[in-house]
Amino acid sequence: MAYVNLYSVSHFFIWFYASRYIFQSWRLFFLLSIGWEILELYLPFEFAVEEFGNKIMDLVFNTIGFYLGNRIRIESPQSHMSKTTSHNQPGP
The tens digit of pLDDT for each residue in 14-46 reads 999 999 999 999 999 999 999 999 999 999 888
Which pTM does this prediction carry? 0.75
Give residue 47's pLDDT band: very low, low, confident or very high (50, 70, 90): confident
Rounded percentage of the chain residues whose pLDDT exceeds 90: 57
DSSP 30-62: HHHHHHHHHHHTT--SGGG---HHHHHHHHHHH
Indicate whether 5 pLDDT > 70: yes
At residue 17, the pLDDT reads 96
Query: CB 78: neighbour CB atoms within 10 A?
Result: 7
4 residue type, one letter: V
The helix (H) or strand (E) run that includes residue 17 is helix 6-17
- 65 close to 14: Cβ distance less than 8 angstroms: yes
